[in-house]
Amino acid sequence: MKAALFYGGRDIRVEEIPTPAPGPGEVLVDVGAAGVCGSDLHPYRGANPWGGASTPAAHRGGHELAGVVAALGSGVTGLRVGQRVGVEPMHLVGCGRCRQCRRGDYHVCPTRGMRNGERHGSAGFSEFDVAVAANIFPLPDDVSFEVASMLDVYACGVHGANRIPLKMDDVVCVIGTGPIGMTMGQVARAAGVRKVIMIGRRDELLRLAVDIGAADVTINNASARVSEAIADLTEGEGCDAVFESVGGTADTLAQAVDASAYGGKIGVIGAFWGDVAVAYRTANRKEIDLRWCNSYASWNGVREYQIALDMVVEGRVQAEPLVTHRFPLTRISEAFQAADDKKGSGAIKVVVQP
Ligand SMILES: [Zn+2]
Ligand SMILES: [Zn+2]
């Protein structure tokens, strides 16, 4: 099969490699679409926010994927070849035995992503990829693969909403207009909060956020003073919940502390490139709850990926307008260029179609 191999930085090559075989409890998926995630772009830009071993040559990627079941490993029941499915990726597979896994919080399993002593991640930038059967979610016919590839992103938004947790009279602020910010805003509005204020730098994205139900009102932080704008929009009270979705090297955590109400909460979804400082005095005076949001798992026994799928199926969130660019696998380098330079390309979510 053809697969994209990552040789480090911007060196991505499509090569012929053996098609993997599904092991016991696994499923082979013929990949229909795989989204380029912000986390794929960190190593592309030469950073590795999660540390650990240096990126091995010929690393794979593509954890936001959907496709068709192509083969079943031994012991897999309830799925069939030819079924259209969304995939919760391999790096979220927990050990199944630790306290965190036993209570359903496998996203914080200390050995998350380890299988048979090896670190595993999904490789959706390939014609075929192996997934764990328990992480396969059948798709209704009217959910396209490209929309289904966004379910991983929506599940992060669902997890953010659960982590805070959002309440119906909350004024919510979302910092960032990337796919995570847009999905988080849509999920918060679908959760029935009072108002979502989105902060970003680009007017066209802020306008789009309102059009696609990701925000009620917006603030361009390049032109407006954020704390004054937040005060104007909240009768001086600040926001009950603030979601930071930018990360990298941005000063968005400081913005989040400013935007938060006294007694407010901050959910940090963005991946920062290093340690971040918090404005202690303000955060302490406001007694802000600072909550890190790492991926997703289950909530009260319900898989957050399934909640995201239900929201998409029921039309409570709009994924279609977020997928702006599509490339075949052979042109994955162009896909990464478009995703890397979103301002130049106008991309929000770039999808590879192997
Ligand atoms: Zn992702
Ligand atoms: Zn575990």
Per-residue pLDDT of the chain (354 residues; tens, 9 = 90+): 999 998 888 999 999 999 999 999 999 999 999 999 988 888 888 777 665 544 544 578 999 999 999 999 999 999 999 999 999 999 999 999 999 999 999 999 999 998 778 888 999 999 999 999 999 999 999 999 999 999 999 999 999 999 999 999 999 999 999 999 999 999 999 999 999 999 999 999 999 999 999 999 999 998 888 999 999 999 999 999 999 999 988 899 999 999 999 999 999 999 998 899 999 999 999 999 999 999 999 999 999 999 999 999 999 999 999 999 999 999 999 999 999 999 999 999 999 999
pLDDT value, residue 52? 52
The CATH number, out of the four listed (3.30.365.10, 3.20.20.370, 1.10.357.10, 3.90.180.10), of the domain defined by the range 2-150+319-353: 3.90.180.10
Write the DSSP string, 231-275.
HHHTTT--EEEEEE---BT--HHHHHHHHEEEEEEEEE-S-BSS-
Which ligand has an atom closest to residue 95 CA?
2
pLDDT value, residue 276? 92
Question: 156 C-alpha to center of ligand 1: Å?
Answer: 8
Q: Which residues lie closer than 8 Å to 121 by C-beta, 6 or more apart?
A: 60, 61, 63, 89, 90, 91, 113
Question: 3 C-alpha to center of ligand 2: Å?
Answer: 30
The C-alpha atoms of residue 89 and residue 152 are separated, in whole angstroms, by 8
Architecture (CATH level 2) of domain 156-292:
3-Layer(aba) Sandwich (3.40)
Q: Residue 151: helix, strand or coil by DSSP?
A: helix
pLDDT value, residue 273? 87
Which ligand has an atom closest to residue 87 CA?
1
Residue ranges covered by each domain of the chain: 2-150+319-353, 156-292
Question: 182 C-alpha to center of ligand 1: Å?
Answer: 14
Query: What pTM, to 2 d.p., does this model score?
Result: 0.95
Question: 99 C-alpha to center of ligand 2: Å?
Answer: 7
The C-alpha atoms of residue 129 and residue 132 are separated, in whole angstroms, by 10
The C-alpha atoms of residue 202 and residue 199 are separated, in whole angstroms, by 9
Q: How far is CA 274 from CA 101, 173, 248, 331, in A?
A: 28, 24, 8, 31
pLDDT value, residue 53? 46
Which ligand has an atom closest to residue 124 CA?
1
pLDDT value, residue 181? 98
Which ligand has an atom closest to residue 94 CA?
2
Start-to-end CA span in the chain (Å)? 10
Question: 146 C-alpha to center of ligand 1: Å?
Answer: 14
